[in-house]
Amino acid sequence: MIAVLGGQAIGWMWVWPAPVVAGLLIIGFATVNLTRGGRESSHIGAGAGTAARRIRDECYARGEIYEQVRRRRRSVLP
pTM passes above 0.75: no
- Residue 12 inside a domain? The answer is no
Residue 13 lies in a domain: no
Residue 69 lies in a domain: yes
The answer to whether the CB of 4 falls within 8 A of the CB of 10 is yes
Task: For residue range 60-72, list pLDDT tens digits in order.
Answer: 888 888 888 888 8
Indicate whether 23 belongs to any domain: yes
Domain count, the chain: 1
**What are the pLDDT digits (tens) for 9-45?**
666 677 788 889 999 999 999 888 888 765 544 455 5
pLDDT digits (tens, 9 = 90+) for 40-55: 444 555 566 778 888 8
pLDDT for residue 18: 86
Q: For residue 24, what pLDDT is reported?
A: 94
Residue 49 lies inside a defined structural domain of this protein: yes
Parent domain of 34: 19-76
Residue 3, domain member (yes or no): no
Q: Are 34 and 40 in contact (CB under 8 A)?
A: no
Residue 25 counted as domain residue: yes
